[in-house]
Structure 1
Amino acid sequence: MGRSKKDFMQRIFGSSALAALRHRNFRLFYFGQMISVIGFWMQNVAQSWVVLEMTNSPFLLGLVTFVQFVPNLAFSLAAGVFADRFPRRTLIVGTQTGFMLLAFLLTVLSGTGALRYWHIVFISSFMGILHAVDIPARQAFLVEMVGREDLSNAIALNSSMFNAARVLGPALGGMVLARYGATTCFLSNAVSYLFVIAGLLVMTIDKRVIKQQKKDMLTQIKDGINYIKTTPTVLIPMALLASVSISAMNFGVLVPVFARTVLGQGPEGFGVLVSSLGTGSLAGAMVLVVFGNKCNQLKFLWAGAAGLSLFQILLGQMQWFWPSAALLAGAGWSMVSLSASVNSIIQMQVPDELRGRVMSIYSLSFIGLSSVGGMLAGAVARWFGATVAFTAGGSLALLVTLWLARRWHLAKCSYGS
């Protein structure tokens, strides 16, 4: 019976583009996470709109993004050590349970009419601490579900899942927000975490051999940093992601401001714009699933960074709704091409014993620094408008991309050949 079931799954997921889905554990993770991420984006859309209505301040909206993700700056390096020291599934179950409880708290506060701006800041900061532990643990956990052979495909499929949810979540969130209010969005997110927690608990995971470390935490963090510094094919992609994250991955702050002040849109129009960004991201992720082999990853890396920069510059010149949606779709494609390519390039090289620490620095570069960039973009939008913020961020990202591309060429880095 077990063999026939395995053969059945082999026939369904026999394509190399779906190779990681042959693994039962990854299927449980994939579909549970999809439901959970849809809920997350529903809450994210509702929370952004609620903050903007409460404060009418792009800067204070940027502050919420900042406090939600700034713990990555403070805790992600230590969290990487935890991901290498302790069972990763246990860590993820703990963080997902924490997210669920915070979403229920937000639901109660909103439903009773007691929700205030400082509540959202407080809850967002606790979510940020959980994200700091969750992200490196989840990224490092992929290899335990599928093995190194199917790891690159798992990363691409995981990205496609995230971005499919990113399309559905904001669109659904915008409709629910407009018709039923923010409380329903918050409750939907809280319930969605039950699916991913259940999937994690029923997995059958081989016990990972964890080497007992006699080094202190600081020394272990330094080991991860030194690996990156001495490996140019990891260092330059990581630096590219960090630079573009802080300068051009500011959509969570700028899109609601842009929708409201430049395009004159309400919640549903805002949801369409965020969904356009997600649609482009999903398209980029699906292209990576099919064509994102080792030989093509560098092409997606540099095209993603350059494309994201250019689309942001063009958004800064735009005042029409549907062309803006199209540009956001292009930006979404570029963003996922860059981030997923960096993820794959790093994970295919890093030793397993350093995986958690290196992926914590990836998390810091991608999530932590984008929160700093979001706050800076919110400040620019407050004083000069969203169009100036888009133009300035895209221009800076383009200059950094060109400089790092030259560094890569001069270093004669070899990857994927």
Structure 2
Amino acid sequence: MSAPGSTPPGPGSPGPVPRVSAFAPLANKSFLAMWTANLMSNVGGWMQNTGAAWEMTSLTQEPIFVALLAAAGTLPMFLFCFFAGILADRFDRRRYIICCQIWMMAVAATLAVLAFLGKLDHWSLLGLSFCMGLGNAMNAPAWHAVVPEIVSGPQLRPAIALNSAGFNLARTIGPVIGQLLLSLVGVFLLFAINTFTYVGVIFAMRAWKRPAEARAAQRREGFAEAARAGIAFVRGSAELRAIFARGLCFFVPGIALGTLLPVIGRFELGLDEFDFGILYGVFGVGAVAAAFAMPRINRLLGADRANIWAMGVSAAATMLAALAMVPWVVGIVVAINGACWITVIANNGTSVQMILPNYMRARGMAVHQMVFFGAMVVGSLLWGKIANLFGVQAALIASSLALVPLTVLAASIRLPGSTTPRV
């Protein structure tokens, strides 16, 4: 049902898009505190991710191992995210998030100790990346579910875009700082810094006073009952299925460039540590720019057409990178892909948030994350294998060509939307 006081959209239409500033949610002190803490944590996370990717290319030159590293971090999202969503809908989300942050802090500390002692090999790097992905998988549904508890109504879409922008701003800053420190000190320092960045998120969550009505809206179902209810809700929602189908059309072929970026940067372009960090960072530059421009883009095109344009542009840009494998061209293409990814992710995520009632929000977002990360795992392994067999250029060309008919297919599926989230 629509929130009290809202105007229901007309038949077949998502309704008018309110004119809300991209920065409006930052006026909310709780949202600002958590956004800032999460930004710092993500900076540490991207320092660690980029350092881990560089370290893997130092341990082996096989593209498949770089792809396995990407898959190790995302596979837990596919395997455990729904389980995490059930837990986040059953228990207090604030305390639950704090426990997840402590787990990820412990994993980062383990990486730092092994790297310092010189005991980190490619298998332990893969295993601990999986453990870090497990922490992210358990944390993500609850984190997404608390956003509508902090901001609501017309501010929800820019709040989600700001969260994505913060993630990608960290992706801009983290790799550059991380690779600079790596060249001066070593990879263990990147893991150590990331360990301490979780402290800010823990304190921000402890300071947040969760609304009583949000706690009351959660249903204390048994585990099996909650799982059945969640599956039944998702299966019965044609709107959710439409969003998931559109996401699969983009994320499976679209992940090729991101998956192969460590191989492209180090072996195809011959970059050093610092330039490698910049190449990673420009993805975030494009993503942040798109996030800030998104309210205007969505007013001009609508979220549905904005996503289709993003998919088409991403296909063309990836083909350009494959045909002109030089640093400045690849850098521009990576930035363009960052803008395309943030557009699709933010608009899809907002549509899911607006469809889900509060008592089902974590489970619904968990399924959304499962589809997203499952597509990334499949795409990462697929394009990594193709690159192993036929070369990086062939993998990029194939992914670009595959994205063309899938964009046409996505255009035939309307992106659901509404003006307000359900309660």
Output the TM-score relative to the length of structure 1.
Answer: 0.90
Partner residue in 1 for 2:259? 253
Which amino acid in the other structure matches residue 328 of structure 2? W
Q: Does 1:311 align with 2:308?
A: no
Counterpart among 278, 281, 284 of residue 278 in structure 1: 284
| CA distances 1:397-417 after superposition (whole Å, capped 9, x unpaired) | 221111121244xxxx77569
Which amino acid in the other structure matches residue 164 of structure 1? L
**CA distance in 1 between partners of 2:29 and 2:364 (Å):** 26
Closer/same/farther in 2, CA of residues 292 and 156 from structure 1, 3 Å limit: farther
**CA distance in 1 between partners of 2:236 and 2:184 (Å):** 51
Partner residue in 2 for 1:236? 242
Q: Does 1:173 align with 2:182?
A: no
Q: Does 1:377 align with 2:386?
A: no
Answer whether contact 1:177 1:184 (CA < 8 A) is retained. Answer: yes
Task: Using the TM superposition, give the Cα deviation of residue 369 of structure 1 relative to its aligned residue in structure 2, in angstroms.
Answer: 2.1
Q: Does 1:27 align with 2:32?
A: yes
Q: Does 1:330 align with 2:336?
A: yes
Partner residue in 2 for 1:71? 76
Q: Secondary structure at the match of 1:278?
A: helix
Partner residue in 2 for 1:204? 209
Q: Please, which runs of 5 or more residues in structure 2 have no aligned partner?
A: 1-18
Which sits farther off after the overlay, 235-244 or 130-139?
A: 235-244
**CA distance in 2 between partners of 1:283 and 1:378 (Å):** 29
Partner residue in 2 for 1:320? 326
Closer/same/farther in 2, CA of residues 289 and 99 from structure 1, 3 Å limit: farther
| CA distances 1:349-388 after superposition (whole Å, capped 9, x unpaired) | 2222221121112111222321221122211111211111
| CA distances 1:94-149 after superposition (whole Å, capped 9, x unpaired) | 11111111111100100111111121122112112222211111111101111344
Task: Using the TM superposition, give the Cα deviation of residue 235 of structure 1 relative to its aligned residue in structure 2, in angstroms.
Answer: 2.5
Task: Using the TM superposition, give the Cα deviation of residue 47 of structure 1 relative to its aligned residue in structure 2, in angstroms.
Answer: 0.2
Answer whether contact 2:40 2:197 (CA < 8 A) is retained. Answer: yes
**CA distance in 1 between partners of 2:299 and 2:210 (Å):** 27
**CA distance in 2 between partners of 1:320 and 1:331 (Å):** 16
| CA distances 1:173-215 after superposition (whole Å, capped 9, x unpaired) | 1211222211111111111111111111111212311223366
Closer/same/farther in 2, CA of residues 328 and 18 from structure 1, 3 Å limit: same
Output the TM-score relative to the length of structure 2.
Answer: 0.88
Partner residue in 2 for 1:83? 88
Q: Please, which runs of 5 or more residues in structure 1 have no aligned partner?
A: 1-13
Answer whether contact 1:297 1:416 (CA < 8 A) is retained. Answer: no
Partner residue in 2 for 1:352? 358
**CA distance in 1 between partners of 2:371 and 2:29 (Å):** 31
Which amino acid in the other structure matches residue 241 of structure 2? L
Answer whether contact 2:66 2:262 (CA < 8 A) is retained. Answer: no
**CA distance in 2 between partners of 1:293 and 1:133 (Å):** 34
Which amino acid in the other structure matches residue 117 of structure 1? H
Which amino acid in the other structure matches residue 115 of structure 2? S
Task: Using the TM superposition, give the Cα deviation of residue 22 of structure 1 relative to its aligned residue in structure 2, in angstroms.
Answer: 2.1
**CA distance in 1 between partners of 2:295 and 2:120 (Å):** 41
Q: Secondary structure at the match of 2:221?
A: coil
**CA distance in 1 between partners of 2:300 and 2:230 (Å):** 28
Which sits farther off after the overlay, 99-108 or 370-379?
A: 370-379
Q: Secondary structure at the match of 2:271?
A: coil
Q: Secondary structure at the match of 1:319?
A: coil
Task: Using the TM superposition, give the Cα deviation of residue 291 of structure 1 relative to its aligned residue in structure 2, in angstroms.
Answer: 4.7
Partner residue in 2 for 1:43? 48
Which amino acid in the other structure matches residue 345 of structure 1? S
Q: Does 1:192 align with 2:197?
A: yes
Q: Secondary structure at the match of 2:323?
A: coil
Residue-pair matches, total: 397
| CA distances 1:309-359 after superposition (whole Å, capped 9, x unpaired) | 222222111221111101111111111111111111221222222211211
> Could you say what the CA RMSD is over the residues aligned between the two structures, in angstroms?
2.1
Partner residue in 2 for 1:222? 231
The percentage of counterpart residues that share the same residue type is 26
Task: Using the TM superposition, give the Cα deviation of residue 19 of structure 1 relative to its aligned residue in structure 2, in angstroms.
Answer: 2.0
Counterpart among 55, 60, 79 of residue 55 in structure 1: 60
